[in-house]
């Protein structure tokens, strides 16, 4: 148990954070592409 | 709270604010209309039945859980009814007994059929698309009276 805690010290979930940021970026691009398409139609 | 959790929470919250601001901007600055239900607009906002000719009538009917509005209509024999039907909530059916009229009431759409009532009598109509707990009570009727006995078209709430 103590060994596991020591292993986790200084751990940062870089992969999860990167995945999350990419996912959010894709959502934003999709949302705003539809948004501007519809705004453009008046 | 973990640093990464905080980041995810802040980014998500910020994004919601950005989306909300963009929607308000489109609505106010670009004057983009917010979608409205057909049943909030005339003629479907109120019950409507009116005469369009000597023997012809136009009827705008709204189906909703669990009634047709209007649900009780009285007309003289020989009347032709132009029926415009829509739904306020979910998909309903509309079938008049003894007549070749079978429509779906679809939210956001208006369906049309014409029907002529030659003979006096009571013509029941009902929802034939299962629409929930009180689907079996969703019905109404056309009461067709002799032309001589007719005292003006009437319509109102129907009930079983």
CA gap B113, B155 in Å, rounded: 19
The region that residue A35 occupies, defined by phi over 0 for left and psi between -120 and 50 for alpha, beta otherwise, is: alpha
Specify the length of chain A in residues. Answer: 42
- Interface pTM, i.e. ipTM: 0.77
Q: What is the mean pLDDT of residues B79-87?
A: 93
Whole-prediction pTM: 0.62
pLDDT of residue A2: 65
Mean pLDDT of chain B: 88
Does position A42 have pLDDT exceeding 80, yes or no?
no
Query: CA nearest A20: which of B8, B2, B16, B18?
Result: B8
A19 pLDDT tier (thresholds 50, 70, 90):
very high
A29 pLDDT tier (thresholds 50, 70, 90):
very high
Q: What is the mean pLDDT of residues A21-42?
A: 91
Residue B10: count of CB within 10 angstroms of its CB: 10
Q: Are B51 and B153 in contact (CB under 8 A)?
A: yes
**CA distance to A21, B5, B11, B70, per residue, from B8 (Å):** 8, 5, 5, 52
Kindly give the residue spans of alpha helices, DSSP state H, lying in chain B. Answer: 3-28
Q: What is the mean pLDDT of residues A2-20?
A: 81
CA gap B100, B92 in Å, rounded: 17
**Closest Cα of chain B to A42: distance in Å?**
7
Return the bridge partners of B80, or none. Answer: B56, B116
Q: Are B69 and B138 in contact (CB under 8 A)?
A: no
Which B-chain residues 2-41 have CB contacts (< 8 A) with chain A? 3-4, 7-8, 11-12, 15, 18-19, 22, 26, 30, 32
């Amino acid at each position: 148990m103590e060994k596991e805690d020591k292993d986790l010290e200084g751990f940062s979930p870089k992969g999860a954070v990167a995945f999350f940021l990419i996912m959010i970026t894709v959502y934003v691009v999709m949302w705003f592409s539809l948004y501007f398409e519809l705004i453009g139609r008046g | 709270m973990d640093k990464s959790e905080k980041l995810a929470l802040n980014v998500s919250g910020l994004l919601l604010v950005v989306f909300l601001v963009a929607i308000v901007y489109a609505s106010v600055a670009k004057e983009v209309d917010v979608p409205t239900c057909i049943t909030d607009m005339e003629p479907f906002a109120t019950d409507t039945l009116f005469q369009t000719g000597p023997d012809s009538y136009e009827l705008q009917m709204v189906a909703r859980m669990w009634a047709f509005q209007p649900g009780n209509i009285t007309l003289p024999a020989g009347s032709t009814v132009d029926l415009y039907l829509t739904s306020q909530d979910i998909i309903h059916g509309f079938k008049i007994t003894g007549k070749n009229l079978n429509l779906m009431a679809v939210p956001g759409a208006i369906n049309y059929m014409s029907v002529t009532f030659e003979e006096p009598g009571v013509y029941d109509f009902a929802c034939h698309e299962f629409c929930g707990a009180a689907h079996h009570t969703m019905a109404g009727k056309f009461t067709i009276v002799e032309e001589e006995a007719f005292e003006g078209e009437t319509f109102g709430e129907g009930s079983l």
